[in-house]
Amino acid sequence: MAQVSITVNGKQRSSEVEPRTLLVHFLREQLNLTGTHVGCDTSQCGACTVLIDGRSAKACTVFAVQADGSEVTTIEGLAEGEQLHPLQTGFWEEHGLQCGYCTPGMIMSCVNLLNDNPKPSEQEIREGLDGNLCRCTGYQHIVNAVQHAATKG
């Protein structure tokens, strides 16, 4: 077992874990932060995307022990109280989700995208989503959601 201490959504969380515990399982099963999802096991789908020290990462491809001492932001930590993050608003306004399963990872990925490039072109948005799969939307409303956040956020 290994001791990890990770600041998750601003709160320091410490726990004993097996070294093989994936960060996504640490978040979901030990911290009950079930908003971060698992959609594949080979790092393609991006449903598990969180921010580690401000950068998007696939939490299914990181051991919790690797994130020891880091700051992790999950979908649950994105809104400020009642105030939704502009991307959450964008996804809602533009119907950027259907089943909602890819959505938390998709939104966290888009946070990274807009941090790097606040006014992306449509092509840049589409390429910025290379690490996230959605099976419901055909992506068009997701692109609209990011544009919404970029222009009205």
The interface with another protein within residues 128-147 (CB under 8 A) comprises 128-143
Interactions with another protein, residue window 82-111 (CB under 8 A): 84, 88, 91-93, 95, 97-104, 107, 109
Interface residue with another protein among 5, 16, 121, 122 (CB under 8 A) is: 122
Interface residue with another protein among 72, 113, 114, 150 (CB under 8 A) is: 113
CB of 77 to another protein, least distance (A): 9
Interface residue with another protein among 18, 118, 151, 153 (CB under 8 A) is: 18
Q: How many residues bind to another protein according to rule CB under 8 A?
A: 83
CB of 12 to another protein, least distance (A): 18
125 interacts with another protein by CB under 8 A: yes
Tell me the per-residue interface mask from 40 to 79 with another protein, x by CB under 8 A, - otherwise.
Answer: xxxxxxxx-x--x--xxxx-xxxx-xx-xx----xxx-xx
39 interacts with another protein by CB under 8 A: yes
**How many residues are there in the chain?**
153
Nearer to another protein by Cβ, of 12 and 82: the residue is 82
Q: Are 69 and 3 in contact (CB under 8 A)?
A: no
Centroid of chain to Cα 88: 12
For 125, residues 6+ apart whose C-beta sits below 8 A from its C-beta are 113, 143, 146, 147
